[in-house]
Amino acid sequence: MTDRYAQAVNSGFTKTLAKKLGLPRPAILRRYRAGDPLTAGPVLVVADSASKSDADALSQVLLGWDVDVRRDAGDDVRWGAVVVVLTEAAEPTAVAEPLLAAGSALRRLAGSGRVVTVSRAPGESDAPALAATRQGVDAVVRSLGKELRGGATANGVVLVDDVEVGHPSVLATLRFFVSARSAYVDGQLLRVGPADTAAVAGAIGRDGRLEGQVAVVTGAARGIGTAIARTLARDGATVVCVDVPAAGEALAATANAIGGTTLQLDVTADDAGQRILDHARERHGRLDVVVHNAGITRDKLLANMKPAQWEPVVAVNLAAQLRINETLLGAGIEGLRIVSLASTSGIAGNKGQTNYGFSKAGVIGHTRATGRLLAATGGTANAVAPGFIETDMTARIPFTTREVARRLPSLAQGGQPVDVAEAIAFLASPEAAGVNGQVLRVCGQHLVGQ
């Protein structure tokens, strides 16, 4: 679905008129295209005095990614990104200098620029001042995301336990946030914990990072599911496209376009997990990634809600995932990556969606628990929570409601299915092994759930 207003105020006479009238002008977001540079300009790296060695290490990594790295906020350039390193900041007073230096560069931040903090998570045994400093970074990121303009975003990489900045998953998360792959991710902090990623350290950022992997995507016949299947295939995976028999024609079209295979299946069937596992192993010899995308809505105020609206939503959106995961966990697959579709409605709720909100909050709950179980075999479980995404389903929302939903995010527009797909492709990759049990919102920093 096209956001005609955003297109109009960014082109021709209408653009000039919108400027004169002071109308909101959602930016045209910079999205990933093969061959494009990682950032839209040089990257400024600043740090507090205690974190300088970590900033030096990250600067060397960025240089290795062919990025022009600067350490002086006074350089007269158009910044592609600003990275603020606060990993060793221990007192609230320590963060002022680097944050204000970053702030002084923001007026020269390029369109679709990036601000990324790298900090540590508060620990249960932290002294009060240390806990305050670390927790404070959270609000800095979320507040800054609401201040930036021109499609720029602010996000944070949060190190857990004794993880160091050179950990491959820390570097991969940093790369995701500074890249165009995170176009619609704003005001989010992603925790990175310990994980054995030595075997994939050299794969960070390379094309074909899912080469040799087999991925299953449910609900793949249309919309976000099709975008997920295409993006995983672009990154090298062989994709098994799953959907109900009624969607068989569209499902086949998706699979044929990416060289994948189809499995016509109702995910609520008792044997759905075993059929997915058998198909992947029999046709492709292995199973590495499962994306739970299948979902439905049956919106109704709770006062008017009947079993016909409640039960199917919970069955498809939540119970099916639990049942399939139980089969997959029982199979003991080494390094399995499970990524589930949650929703901002499962975080903050939404009028007329008690059933949907329950199911999506349940996805978040089981993701955290499943992540702990999969860690024993080197696997991960994570969730992606989309906000307003431009799909055929949201196109059916009444015009006024749809326009309000589009303009509420900090980015003042809806996301595209590919934005959700890019986040899933990152979480499904071996380099994200240190990200486990997390929920990543792809919502343009929507007012809902922030």
Tally the domains of the chain: 2
Based on the fold, state whether residues 106 and 214 are members of the same structural domain: no
From the list 340, 348, 293, 358, the residue with the least C-alpha distance to 438 is 340
Please count the other Cβ atoms lying within 10 Å of the Cβ belonging to residue 161. Answer: 11
Kindly state whether residue 12 falls inside one of the protein's structural domains: no
pLDDT at res. 449: 45
pLDDT at res. 7: 67
Kindly state whether residue 448 falls inside one of the protein's structural domains: no
Cα angle 109, 114, 116 (rounded to 5 degrees) comes to 125
Kindly state whether residue 169 falls inside one of the protein's structural domains: yes
pLDDT at res. 168: 92
Q: Are 298 and 313 in contact (CB under 8 A)?
A: yes
The two three-digit tokens of residue 307, written as one number: 């079993």
Based on the fold, state whether residues 177 and 247 are members of the same structural domain: no
Based on the fold, state whether residues 214 and 361 are members of the same structural domain: yes
Q: Exposed, middle or buried, 231 (CB in 10 Å: 0-12/13-18/19+)?
A: buried
Report in angstroms the alpha-carbon separations of 137 from 152, 281, 304, 437, 446: 18, 45, 43, 21, 19
The tens digit of pLDDT for each residue in 33-91 reads: 999 999 999 999 999 999 999 999 999 999 999 999 999 999 999 999 999 999 999 99
pLDDT at res. 450: 46
Q: Are 79 and 44 in contact (CB under 8 A)?
A: yes
Based on the fold, state whether residues 215 and 284 are members of the same structural domain: yes
Kindly state whether residue 122 falls inside one of the protein's structural domains: yes
Based on the fold, state whether residues 157 and 280 are members of the same structural domain: no
**Count of alpha carbons within 13 Å of 6, Cβ hemisphere only?**
18
Residues 40, 79, 385, 338, Cα dihedral to 10°: 60
Please count the other Cβ atoms lying within 10 Å of the Cβ belonging to residue 187. Answer: 25
DSSP run (H or E) holding 141 = helix 128-147
Question: Domain containing 354 — which CATH number?
Answer: 3.40.50.720
pLDDT at res. 23: 59
The two three-digit tokens of residue 375, written as one number: 């860690």
Low-confidence ranges of the chain (pLDDT < 70): 1-24, 197-203, 205-206, 447-450
From the list 249, 225, 391, the residue with the least C-alpha distance to 240 is 225
pLDDT at res. 405: 77
Which residues lie across from 441 on neighbouring strands?
385
* Encoded amino acid at 170, one letter: V
Kindly state whether residue 243 falls inside one of the protein's structural domains: yes
Q: Are 105 and 83 in contact (CB under 8 A)?
A: no
Output the pTM of the full model.
Answer: 0.94
- C-alpha 277: how far from its chain's center? 26
Based on the fold, state whether residues 175 and 212 are members of the same structural domain: no
Based on the fold, state whether residues 262 and 166 are members of the same structural domain: no
Kindly state whether residue 22 falls inside one of the protein's structural domains: no
The parent domain of residue 429 ranges over: 206-442
- What one-character DSSP code corresponds to residue 377? G
Residues 6+ apart with CB under 8 A from 381: 325, 337, 338, 339, 340, 367, 368, 370, 371, 373, 374, 436, 437
Based on the fold, state whether residues 166 and 253 are members of the same structural domain: no
pLDDT at res. 242: 98
Kindly state whether residue 450 falls inside one of the protein's structural domains: no
Three-class SS state of 188: strand
Where are the extended beta strands (E) located within 171-254?
Answer: 188-192, 214-218, 238-243
Based on the fold, state whether residues 186 and 305 are members of the same structural domain: no
Based on the fold, state whether residues 183 and 226 are members of the same structural domain: no
| DSSP string of 1-57, one letter each residue | ---HHHHHTTSHHHHHHHHHHT-----------TTS-SSSS-EEEEE-GGGHHHHHH
Which residues are identified as catalytic?
Answer: 356
